[in-house]
A and B are shown apart, each in its own frame.
Chain A
């Protein structure tokens, strides 16, 4: 496989291979010396057209643990608007002879576009509202770590599904396993027609009470302006997961969040800091998962 453009393009078998490899890397990361020489002499570039600290840091650490030479190339959207096309940026980067391109871009489908036009391995670190595949992979890894499996689980994803690449990648990943998926949130942020295998709930309690896993999504502050939600206060009142949820959630339900959280909006402190929350585990697992992805990809010979 040359690229990781999205979960859509992966088979269940390929997902399992990545997750198994990630497990091996997690063991490496627990050793005293956390670096492996596997990709010494190869180069990775982190090409971020949208600001991101967390994802870029996680990728950078993963790349360094694999002994890759790492370049960071941050492009503010405004300078792109002024001139260079994505194609030209890509060709410039190609001229540096890099082997791996980790890209985040505001356009859905841009990762695929780039992958089709370069011999380097492209890893999608988020393209518009389309996919964020490594997030879904690290989420799956984290769920399996706690629950031992994905098959047979009920997963509720709560929040701004329509604008979330995390929700989509998770949907595509979980749909390749025997899972039940609920989308929960205000109708303005959920798809009009439910995708296959998904149930839609406007009522938070109904949507999450039987779930084994509750994934919360960050509410973007600008949604209020677009009239998707009346106010953050109202959102938090109706769809924020607060300590009352402990009264109806199953005892072993785990709470996840891709970060960064808006404490007091989609998630309350009592939930975020509870023993049910595996949010920090997700962050740790991100590194091993991203190492596995890079390790398994093979750039095209130039």
Chain B
């Protein structure tokens, strides 16, 4: 595993991939720069949320609005999808049968879509209980942080559909391979942000 030189942080394709391995150096490093700037945005939204915890203005608070069960289901969907994307990355790296790669990617996509659907259902329920963004500073901060993560997951799902289309039309050429590697970083990164959300927002709010 350590015998091949690493060109960038994260999973490297290795020399067997030739051009794609060469091209990935700049692309993946650039993507890490984007990812880290995104991390700053999320970090500051977490800070805003924590400073707004007391600002419920007489409206519904975490105890009334959050459910442990749905937070747990969403956590599991995202964690399993992170694992299945890891399996897809390995199928790409070790040039397994294309059906294996596409299979793992489709499973990942379905788990991501399940996560989004469940989150939308959660927001809908919060709205019906009076938990709308304009109700209080606490709810404004909540709806700035959690749906931004949901939008990221939605964007990642659209990107995944586009990459599946690229695989179908162009096959596994260099742009498709490097695209999959960057999407893998985004996907695992979004799972890391979700750890912060379920720990601080949901578990911290319910405990």
Q: Do A and B come from one complex?
A: no
**Residues on A facing B (Cβ under 8 Å):** none
**Residues on B facing A (Cβ under 8 Å):** none
